[in-house]
């Protein structure tokens, strides 16, 4: 008997056992600490108490330690006495019926791993983000794009159910596992009714009421998906300006100047104006608009006023630099106290203690000196060391106590003094230099001027961070100057800025500068 005979005789090729289609394969991708194990337990109980054989597995181990974790469940209808089905211990690409992702990037990971396929998979995903360390530690904006994952999910999944199930759970005093269980119920992907799900929650016996609330809320959302409206969020209504009539009148004059600006510029100039007036006073606001006007005269509608719009943004940021006066002012405002009470859920019967962490250095103290004196002191290392001995240490201030509050309140009230300080002089000089450098390019290379204006983004933070930002800013501007004559200078300037925001030490920036040197 040949092989062929043996096969064709004894073994006609068959299609899969029709009963196999009864196996439901469900995978959960979660971040450690999200209760993936609890959710798995509920689903298992649900299946078993409804006449199904079920098997769950996980690769726990370091699951609680914030890593990504997979849980996997298979179930099939089962009569008592029948042999047990043979279930797999791990999800296979292209062979998952229901994929639950407890976070948006985990949804992305499930797609990468092939667990979401258009022929069969219902993808239930929570759209909230639990940012990975790599996203958080970048000096710039390292947050991964949820939109890309949403778009991919739309293609990869047969059905895609997405909502912020985390927020839903918190709003109902529970945790995300309960909300995802509700979403699963709402999806109708399992052949069990609502009561069966709720029975599984009750049987677990822990935090039942909260879990049931979150479950119900999520079930409603998943069962009645509202088409995600593409319409932009309604702009938060701009709060009315309140204050003494004299100041309000002065404000109205300034606001009228803004209204007269080209629309794209005005859009940025109004928040800019608010920022600088809030930072200092009406006169400072007028200075801001005057500065902006010097940019505007070199700009035109043909370029969409891009230069002025960016200038409106970054001049405001530059003028509202971070100094002790600013911090003390912000820290002592009544509105802040109200916000914290709300955020910390302080009840009427509770008290709130507030501790602030300050660590002023000699530089900050000298910054408050009159410019002429400050400059002298700053140039004298002996004096700086003396000041450091006096001031440079960590200070914890209880802003709910009178002494600490009064101290900060007084410092916050030094706005009248600010214009005379060394720091102000330094910031003004820096601002002027930067604007001049950028505007000098307007005629030759408008786009480069815009990019140079945007480089102000690099300067932020306090102490070391601020110094590092300044240095990056200087290096980007210097490197740009070397290639300013090239037609693609604007593009290079943007690349340099983006590189500078990649890492703390500026390794990426060094690399980019080395590239420029190679052809400059």
Interface pick for another protein out of 6, 293, 390, 432 (rule CB under 8 A) = 6
Among 35, 36, 91, 506, binds another protein (CB under 8 A): 91
514 by Cβ neighbours in 10 Å (0-12 / 13-18 / 19+) ranks as: exposed
> What minimum distance in Å lies between the beta carbon of 505 and another protein?
10
String of contacts with another protein for each residue 424-463, x by CB under 8 A = ---------------------------------x--xxxx
| Residue of 31, 368, 479, 512 interacting with another protein (CB under 8 A) | 31
Q: Which stretch binds another protein (CB under 8 A): 324-332, 374-382, 424-432, 474-482?
A: 324-332
- Cβ atoms < 10 Å from Cβ of 379: 9
Q: Contact region for another protein (CB under 8 A) — 61-69, 288-296, 298-306, 507-515?
A: 61-69
How far apart CA 393 and CA 390 sit, in angstroms, is: 8
Contacting another protein (CB under 8 A), which of 229, 302, 349, 518?
A: 349
471 near another protein (CB under 8 A) = no
When binding is defined by CB under 8 A, the residue of 164, 322, 388, 498 that contacts another protein is: 322
Which residue, 60 or 373, has its beta carbon nearer to another protein?
60
CB atoms within 10 A of CB 269: 28
Written as six digits, the tokens of 452 are 């140079």
Residues that bind another protein (rule: CB under 8 A) add up to a total of 154
CA distance linking residue 3 with residue 46, whole number of Å: 47
* CA pair distance 376, 504, nearest whole angstrom: 32
Among 159, 262, 306, 356, binds another protein (CB under 8 A): 356
Would you say 220 or 338 has its CB closer to another protein?
338
- 159 sits in which H/E element: strand 159-163
Nearer to another protein, 160 or 186 (CB): 160
Residues 375-404 that bind another protein (CB under 8 A): 394, 396, 399-402
**Binding test (CB under 8 A) with another protein, winner from 164, 196, 303, 337:** 337
Under DSSP, is residue 91 helix (H, G, I), strand (E, B) or coil?
coil
The answer to the question of residue 342 lying near another protein (CB under 8 A) is no
φ and ψ at residue 77, rounded to 5 degrees = -55, 140
Site for another protein, residues 129 to 168, rule: CB under 8 A: 130-141, 143-145, 148-149, 151-152, 155-156
| Alpha carbon distance 350, 251 (integer Å) | 40
Q: What are phi and psi of 372, to 5 degrees?
A: -65, -40
CB 356 within 8 A of CB 400: no
Report d(CA 68, CA 436) in Å as an integer: 50
Spatial separation of the C-alpha atoms in residues 473 and 490, rounded to whole Å: 15
CA distance 390 to 408: 18
Binders in 474-513 for another protein, by CB under 8 A: 501, 504
Please pick, from the candidates 283, 293, 344, 385, the single residue that binds another protein as defined by CB under 8 A: 344
Residues 218-247 that bind another protein (CB under 8 A): 236, 238-244, 247
Among 231, 245, 263, 335, binds another protein (CB under 8 A): 335
Q: Per rule CB under 8 A, is residue 191 in the interface with another protein?
A: no
49, 68, 303, 425: residue in contact with another protein (rule CB under 8 A): 68
Residue 470 and residue 457 in contact, taking contact as beta carbons nearer than 8 Å:
no
Task: Give the C-alpha separation, 384 to 403, whole Å.
Answer: 27
Q: Which of residues 279-318 bind another protein (CB under 8 A)?
A: 282, 313, 316-317
CB of 479 to another protein, least distance (A): 20
User: What is the arrangement of strands in the sheet containing 159-163, beginning at the earlier edge strand?
Assistant: 52-58, 68-77, 24-31, 98-101, 122-126, 159-163
Nearer to another protein, 330 or 516 (CB): 330
What is the Cα–Cα distance from 250 to 223, expressed in whole angstroms? 54
Cβ neighbours of residue 242 closer than 8 Å, sequence gap 6 or more: 248
β-partners of residue 74 are 25, 55
Which residue has 């997405």 as its token pair?
A: 162
CA distance 210 to 187: 21
Q: Which stretch binds another protein (CB under 8 A): 188-196, 213-221, 268-276, 431-439?
A: 268-276
Within residues 92-131, the interface with another protein by CB under 8 A covers 92-95, 105-106, 108-109, 111-112, 114, 118, 130-131
We find the least distance from the C-beta atom of residue 291 to another protein, in angstroms, to be 15
Contact flag: residue 357 with another protein (CB under 8 A): yes
Q: Is 79 in the site for another protein (CB under 8 A)?
A: no
Nearer to another protein, 43 or 484 (CB): 43
Q: Is 419 in the site for another protein (CB under 8 A)?
A: no
- Answer for which of 44, 97, 198, 323 binds another protein (CB under 8 A) is 44
Note whether 193 binds another protein by CB under 8 A.
no
Regarding 86 and contact with another protein (CB under 8 A), the answer is: yes
Measure Cα distances from 50 to 19, 78, 271, 314, 412 in Å: 18, 9, 59, 63, 66
Q: Does 467 bind another protein (CB under 8 A)?
A: no
Q: What angle do CA 116, 121, 124 make, to 5 degrees?
A: 85
In the complex with another protein, the residue whose CB is nearer, 76 or 366, is 76
The answer to the question of residue 208 lying near another protein (CB under 8 A) is no
Considering beta carbons, is residue 167 or 440 the nearer one to another protein? 167
Phi, then psi, of 163 in degrees rounded to 5: -165, 165
């Amino acid at each position: 008997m040949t092989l062929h005979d043996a096969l064709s005789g004894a073994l006609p090729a068959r299609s899969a056992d029709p009963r196999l289609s009864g196996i439901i394969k469900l995978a959960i991708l979660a971040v450690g600490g999200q209760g993936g194990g609890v959710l798995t337990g509920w689903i298992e109980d649900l299946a078993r108490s409804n006449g199904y054989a079920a098997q769950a597995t996980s690769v726990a181990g370091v699951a609680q330690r914030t890593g990504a974790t997979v849980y996997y469940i298979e179930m099939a209808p089962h009569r008592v006495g029948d042999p047990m089905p043979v279930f797999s211990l791990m999800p296979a690409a292209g062979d998952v019926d229901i994929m639950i992702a407890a976070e948006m990037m985990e949804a992305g990971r499930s797609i990468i791993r092939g667990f979401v396929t258009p022929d069969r998979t219902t993808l239930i995903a929570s759209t909230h983000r639990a940012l990975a360390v790599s996203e958080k530690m970048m000096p710039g904006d390292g947050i991964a794009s949820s939109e890309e994952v949403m778009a991919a999910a739309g293609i990869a999944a047969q059905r895609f159910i997405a909502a912020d199930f985390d927020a839903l759970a918190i709003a109902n005093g529970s945790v995300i596992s309960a909300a995802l269980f509700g979403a699963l119920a709402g999806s109708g992907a399992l052949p069990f009714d609502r009561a069966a799900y709720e029975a599984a929650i009750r049987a677990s016996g822990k935090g039942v009421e909260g879990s049931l609330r979150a479950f119900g809320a999520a079930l409603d959302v998943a069962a009645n998906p509202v088409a995600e409206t593409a319409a932009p969020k309604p702009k938060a209504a701009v709060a009315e300006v309140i204050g003494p009539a004299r100041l309000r009148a002065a404000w109205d004059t300034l606001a009228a100047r803004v209204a007269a600006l080209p629309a794209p510029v005005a859009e940025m100039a109004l928040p800019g104006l608010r920022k600088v007036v809030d930072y200092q006073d009406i006169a400072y606001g007028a200075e801001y608009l005057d500065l902006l006007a010097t940019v505007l005269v070199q700009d035109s509608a043909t370029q969409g006023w891009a230069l002025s719009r960016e200038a409106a943004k970054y001049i405001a940021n530059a003028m509202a630099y971070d100094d002790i006066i600013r911090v003390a002012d912000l820290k002592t405002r009544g509105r802040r106290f109200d916000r914290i009470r709300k955020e910390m859920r302080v009840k009427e019967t509770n008290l709130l203690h507030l501790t602030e962490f300050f660590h002023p250095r000699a530089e900050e103290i000298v910054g408050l000196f009159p410019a002429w004196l400050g400059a002298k002191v700053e140039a004298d290392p002996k004096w700086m060391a003396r000041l450091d001995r006096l001031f440079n240490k960590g200070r914890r201030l209880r802003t709910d106590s009178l002494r600490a509050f009064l101290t900060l309140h007084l410092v916050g009230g030094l706005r009248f003094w600010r214009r005379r300080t060394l720091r102000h002089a330094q910031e003004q000089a820096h601002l002027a230099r930067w604007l001049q450098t950028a505007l000098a390019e307007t005629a030759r290379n408008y786009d480069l001027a815009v990019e140079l204006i945007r480089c102000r983004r690099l300067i932020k933070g306090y102490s070391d961070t601020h110094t590092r930002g300044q240095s990056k800013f200087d290096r980007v501007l210097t490197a740009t100057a070397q290639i300013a004559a090239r037609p693609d200078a604007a593009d290079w300037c943007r690349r340099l800025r983006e590189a500078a925001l990649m890492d703390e030490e500026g390794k990426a920036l060094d690399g980019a500068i080395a590239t420029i040197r190679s052809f400059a």
